[in-house]
Amino acid sequence: MVRAAGRLAANLARWVATPPPVAPFREGAFRSGLHDEAPAAWLGVALGVTFTVCFVTGLASHLIQNPGSWFAWPARPVGLYRVTQGLHVVTGLVSIPLLLIKLFVVYPHLWAWPPVRSLRHAVDRVSIPALVGGSLFLLVTGVQNTMYWYPWGFFFPPAHYWAAWITIGALIMHIGAKAGIVRRVAAAREPRAAPDLAEADRGGLTRRGVLGLAGAASGLVFLTTAGTTVGPLQRLALLSPRRPSVGPQGFPVNQPAETAGVVQAAMDPAFVLRVEGNLPRPVEFSLADLAALPQREIELPIACVEGWSATARWGGVALVDLLRAVGAPVGGPVFVESLQQAGLYRSTTLNPAHASDPATLLALRVGGEPLHLDHGFPVRLIAPNNPGVLQTKWVARVEVL
């Protein structure tokens, strides 16, 4: 009995020590010298930077759209959201080649034998699938969302948001596990010689070359997509799902009037904008009434969560002028609601900073013409430094809170 148990233990030990006789487990299955800690460390550092940028900018965008009582996004500088969200999307895009090349470099670790060597290695084995799965999930769903391609069957914002927390947690664990390697690689002046492995790579990319290739691939992705937000690169943006100058009146549309179901109500000559809430009595404005109020013209960017942004010259009534005209106090939050009956983005609550900013307009015109129906005719909200989904179109009601 004891002997049988002993034999079993010995067999088990031998089994654990011997890699399974399947290709990826075999000693020497990965002969390229590119599967090395030096390129893995440098690519890891680069990804650490890009993922941090994505996380911080993504968190900002989340908080702007779901503000807690402690968070108030400012109205100035007017183009800040355009920058943070442009960075979010472009940084995510350039992370794709970095991540794929990094995973190529470290791929043999997936087939390490024995599967768990130590407590420390066991922690790796838990955090790395979360890190890799989370990173791939974020990049894939993020890119799909910029393309308006929604095949998942779940709602993108919370799915992407919570995956980001999981991924960043796994990334922190990973940094704890690999900081020593990065330090060692950074301290090594000369690349370590690996002559037995280098033979397989003769004439091909070196370990340094693979870093150059990762940079080139990121650069190529940047050049062919960043024009969605970086104006001068627009003509190069051959692989961008949006062009900031393409759309009615020269900039893109997210939701057209037809799918919003507002065509009839928006074209109705009897249209009125109702202002109510914290004011002496509700007031209704026809289009002629609105045109009779003081008009302002201002250049403001419109910046979408999907990364595209464009600048336009907007004309209309400043919200503060409207509030003064009806005798409402300026300085509190204001709720703005669309003609649209259903939909997640049919209303916005402007925080005090946005509601009292003189650049926040109930716009009637863009580029000197009446708004196109798809841009929110007859009246749309355009506030400085806010995401496009909060720039309510086809505004029917303003409630002073």
Q: Which 72-131 residues touch another protein, going by CB under 8 A?
A: 93, 96-97, 100-101, 103-104, 106-110, 112, 117-120, 123, 127, 129-130
Maximum separation of any 2 CA atoms in the chain, in Å: 100
Q: State yes or no: residue 181 binds another protein (CB under 8 A).
A: yes
Nearer to another protein, 111 or 335 (CB): 111
Q: State yes or no: residue 132 binds another protein (CB under 8 A).
A: yes
Residue 233, CB half-sphere, CA atoms under 13 Å: how many? Answer: 21
Residue with tokens 């799902």: 241
Q: How far apart are CA 220 and CA 226, in angstroms?
A: 10
Out of 152, 294, 331, 369, the residue judged to bind another protein by CB under 8 A: 152
* Distance from chain centroid for Cα 333: 27
- Per CB under 8 A, contacts with another protein among 258-287 are 258-259
Out of 59, 72, 79, 144, the residue judged to bind another protein by CB under 8 A: 144
Q: State yes or no: residue 149 binds another protein (CB under 8 A).
A: yes
Q: State yes or no: residue 202 binds another protein (CB under 8 A).
A: yes
* Stretch touching another protein by CB under 8 A, among 12-20, 146-154, 281-289, 390-398: 146-154
Cβ 382 to another protein shortest distance, Å: 17
- Beta strands 395-400 and 272-277 are parallel
Q: What is the phi-psi region of residue 144: left when phi exceeds 0, alpha when psi lies from -120 to 50, beta otherwise? A: alpha
Query: Is there a contact between 92 and 139 (Cβ–Cβ < 8 Å)?
Result: yes
Nearer to another protein, 49 or 220 (CB): 220
Nearer to another protein, 144 or 286 (CB): 144
Residue with tokens 């301290």: 187
Nearer to another protein, 206 or 286 (CB): 206
- Per CB under 8 A, contacts with another protein among 223-252 are 224-225, 238-243, 246-248, 251-252
In 188-285, where does DSSP find H-type helix? 195-198, 207-225, 257-260, 263-267
Out of 9, 13, 16, 147, the residue judged to bind another protein by CB under 8 A: 147
Nearer to another protein, 170 or 319 (CB): 170
29 token code pair: 């299955």
Cβ 340 to another protein shortest distance, Å: 14
One-letter amino acid at 286 equals S
Q: State yes or no: residue 216 binds another protein (CB under 8 A).
A: yes
Sign of the torsion angle spanned by Cα atoms 146, 58, 383, 326: positive
Q: How far apart are CA 129 and CA 135, in angstroms?
A: 10
Q: State yes or no: residue 136 binds another protein (CB under 8 A).
A: yes
Nearer to another protein, 242 or 365 (CB): 242
Residue with tokens 């015109």: 365
Nearer to another protein, 93 or 379 (CB): 93
Out of 38, 75, 164, 359, the residue judged to bind another protein by CB under 8 A: 164
Out of 69, 189, 344, 368, the residue judged to bind another protein by CB under 8 A: 344
Out of 56, 59, 83, 255, the residue judged to bind another protein by CB under 8 A: 255
- Per CB under 8 A, contacts with another protein among 372-401 are 374
Nearer to another protein, 241 or 360 (CB): 241
Residue 142: which of 211, 80, 87, 213 has the closest Cα? 87
One-letter amino acid at 274 equals R
Cβ 89 to another protein shortest distance, Å: 13
Q: State yes or no: residue 154 binds another protein (CB under 8 A).
A: yes
* Torsion angle (degrees, nearest 10) of CA 201, 203, 204, 209: 110
Question: Residue 334 burial (CB < 10 Å; 0-12/13-18/19+)?
Answer: buried
Q: How far apart are CA 92 and CA 47, in angstroms?
A: 10
Out of 53, 166, 198, 230, the residue judged to bind another protein by CB under 8 A: 166
Query: Is there a contact between 251 and 310 (Cβ–Cβ < 8 Å)?
Result: yes
Cβ 235 to another protein shortest distance, Å: 11
